Amino acid sequence: MIRLSGISRTYQVGDELVHALADVTEEIDAGEHLAIMGPSGSGKSTLLHILGCLDRPDAGTYELLGREVGKLDETELSLVRRHTIGFVFQFFHLVPRLTALENVELPMVFAGLERSERHERAMGRLQAVGLELRADHRPDQLSGGERQRVALARATVLEPKLLLADEPTGNLDAASGRQVLALLRELNATGLTLVVVTHDPAVARRARRVLVLRDGLVFQRVDGAHVHEAVEALSRDENGP
Amino acid sequence: MRATDVFGFASRALRGHRVRTGMSLLGVSIGVAAVIALTALGEGARLYVVGQFASIGTNLLIVLPGKTETTGGMPGFGGVPNDLTLADAEAVVQAIPEIEKGSPIAVGTETVAHGERRRQVAIIGTTHEMLELRHLSLAQGRFLPPLEWDRGSPVAVIGTTLSSELFPGESPLGRIVRIGEWRMRVVGVLAPRGEQLGVDMDDVAIVPVATAMKMLNRRSLFRVLLQVRGHAELDLARDKVTRLLSERHGEEDITCIAQDAVLTALDSILGALTMALGGIAAISLAVAGVGIMNVMLVSVSERTREVGLLKALGAGRGQILALFLTEAVLISSAGGLLGLAFGWGAVAALVAMFPALPATPPTWAVGAALALSVAVGAGFGVLPARRATRLDPVAALAGR
């Protein structure tokens, strides 16, 4: 489903060039559950942004569902983001003045769906995350876990093929985090391709496959079950001679 | 994206910042109110002046003795004009078919007395035709009777002020007043009219022209008013009057003015004044536009994360542009409507203070002010909205 080859991304920070990603080549199959790990500055967020078509690589090609993303113009990219990709962020990013229901409706507003259809589908998604009774609440009236579940409902309401989660439990307590992870897993079980960026081994462990990045390069590819050994190897390497 | 959704999203974003939205809205409304109030003032002045002239009558020619052009000859040599006589006036009315009717006017000042009460007023000597030519109306009695122009008659029509001064609390009809050495019978009282081109028509005595000329010891008329049949014949009639009187006098020593020419000139001058006032007021609308731009720029930088999110959710550039532009236009057009209300209020207050001034904002000014307020929002909203569309989504999501 996804084919990355030779992806690199360089930022200019002051006078210095920072290589956030240097030559990443990877394939992700449809329906896969992939975790991306690595210390801060390893390039995992940059990779996620490129996967989400929010950022463009400086070199290399990105093929999504058989289309080369680098050749799409701004309008086509926004359509890909709208219909093919769902985002979940660490800081939820709900629009504060809109209710939970209206937040979930937003992607459908951009798609130009009719009000009644929007309402029905948004309510359905809220029900799926167990928040149908909170539909009229604004984000500041919801707990962190509830906010992330609203964000999850919003990310999936247009039935995307790919769900990208950036530290989805990073701002949640353990119980809410588990709830959100369970929901992600459920979605993955229905065939949705899931890519989670995390620094938490407990989160990465649930993925079938883990990509460990370091300095913009893939350091290791491991099974979810062996994530702890990979983390140890990484820290040994960092702290080693 | 549907238009109603764009509208709903933008208006909710504005309601999130009531004070800020209110302030920039106020800026626009002051601009629109200024345009409306000032153009109403200008239009009122124009209508007032035009009304003053129109009340004298339409399609009028005014003949006055003397040439208004200076010839530069030596004073005393042929410079004294011939008298403009009653016979001249009658000849013009009878000989020129384009003239429907005419009325000679002699004026002067004399003391009018009844018993011990006396009052110095303007005396107007004229004929029966004056009633219609100058659109006069009567409160009591009747106007001067139709007479041969060269025949006098001891009758007078007086203004309301004069009437109440000489005959407090009683009817003056049929009573005798003394005008100078002359005893005259009051046959009518004019309806209140107020000042008309500098003469207080409430404080006059009107007598037959032949009597007035003897009473005031005048040989020349002050003016002859002529009513022309149609507007199209005005110029022709003026030429004929000038030619006829020049023949009778042996030289061109009278001036003939078309009332409309004066009116048209004043009308266009005052119209231009109104436009200028509106234009000056429109500058304040532009200032208000800068205010909107400022508020929208603040709004965009405050909502950077939101813009990043909208992009991540698949909003296109055009959609984000439309959202922010709609906010700006909503502020400006709501301000325009509010300003319309303010403007009407100011005009109503003005009319209450000066009832004589027919101040109403011209339709073009109302339309232009509203259109301009919408345009101001759209124009000054473009820069902030474009800034929003150009935000890099990754940086915007991080709040940078």
Please provide the distance, in angstroms rounded to a whole number, between the alpha carbons at the two ends of chain B: 27
Q: Is B201 helix (H, G, I), strand (E, B) or coil?
A: coil
Test B313 with A81 for CB contact under 8 angstroms: yes
Test B394 with A54 for CB contact under 8 angstroms: yes
Q: What pLDDT score does B160 carry?
A: 92
pLDDT digits over A165-192, tens only? 999 998 899 999 999 999 999 999 999 9
Q: Quick one: closest CA in B to A76, which residue?
A: B316
- CA dist., res. A163 & res. A62, Å (int): 17
Query: Which residues, including other chains, have CB under 8 Å from residue B149's CB and lie 6 or more apart?
Result: B86, B89, B90, B104, B127, B209, B210
Q: Is A189 on the interface with B (CB under 8 A)?
A: no
Test B393 with A93 for CB contact under 8 angstroms: no
- CA dist., res. B241 & res. B245, Å (int): 6
Kindly state the tokens that stand for B331. Answer: 């502020």
Pick the CATH number of A31-53+76-239 from 2.30.140.10, 3.40.50.300, 3.30.360.10, 3.10.180.10: 3.40.50.300
**DSSP letter at B398?**
T
For chain B, give every domain's residue range.
3-52+264-397, 104-223
A213, A216, A219, A223 alpha-carbon torsion, rounded to 10°: 30
Say what the ipTM of the complex is: 0.92
pLDDT digits over A42-86, tens only? 889 999 999 999 999 999 999 999 899 988 998 999 999 999 999
Q: Is A21 helix (H, G, I), strand (E, B) or coil?
A: strand
Measured between beta carbons, the chain B residues lying within 8 angstroms of A79 are 314, 316
Measured between beta carbons, the chain B residues lying within 8 angstroms of A107 are 313-314
pLDDT, one tens digit for every residue, chain B (400 residues): 888 999 999 998 888 888 989 988 998 999 999 999 999 988 888 888 887 777 666 788 889 888 755 444 444 444 556 788 999 999 999 999 989 889 999 999 999 999 889 999 999 999 999 888 888 889 999 999 998 888 889 999 999 999 999 999 889 999 999 998 899 999 999 998 877 766 788 999 999 999 999 999 888 899 899 988 887 888 889 899 999 998 998 888 888 888 777 777 888 888 898 889 888 888 888 888 898 899 899 999 989 999 999 999 999 999 999 999 999 999 999 999 999 999 999 999 988 988 888 888 888 888 988 998 999 999 999 999 999 999 999 989 887 6
Chain A interface, best mutation among B9, B18, B307, B313, by max A CB count within 10 A: B313
- Closest Cα in chain B, distance from residue A175 (Å): 26
Q: Is B394 on the interface with A (CB under 8 A)?
A: yes
Q: What is the radius of gyration, based on Cα positions, of chain A?
A: 18
Q: What pLDDT score does B73 carry?
A: 46
Q: Is A82 on the interface with B (CB under 8 A)?
A: yes
Distances from the Cα of B268 to the Cα of B24, B43, B275, angstroms:
36, 11, 11
Tell me if B330 sits within 8 A of B8, measured CB to CB: no
Test A54 with B312 for CB contact under 8 angstroms: yes
State the Cα angle at B262 between B257 and B267, rounded to 5°: 165
Residue A221 has pLDDT above 90, yes or no: no
Q: What pLDDT score does A18 carry?
A: 85
Kindly state the tokens that stand for B339. Answer: 């300003």
Q: Concatenated DSSP letters for B96-111?
A: -TTEEEEEEEEEEEEE
pLDDT band at A230 (very low <50, low <70, confident <90, very high): confident
Please identify among residues 33-72 of chain A the ones whose CB lies closer than 8 Å to any CB of chain B.
Answer: 49, 52, 54-55
Q: What pLDDT score does B197 carry?
A: 62
Query: Which residues, including other chains, have CB under 8 Å from residue B242's CB and lie 6 or more apart?
Result: B252, B254, B256
Residue A134 has pLDDT above 80, yes or no: yes
Measured between beta carbons, the chain B residues lying within 8 angstroms of A83 are 314
Instruction: Report the share of chain A in percent with pLDDT over 90.
Output: 71
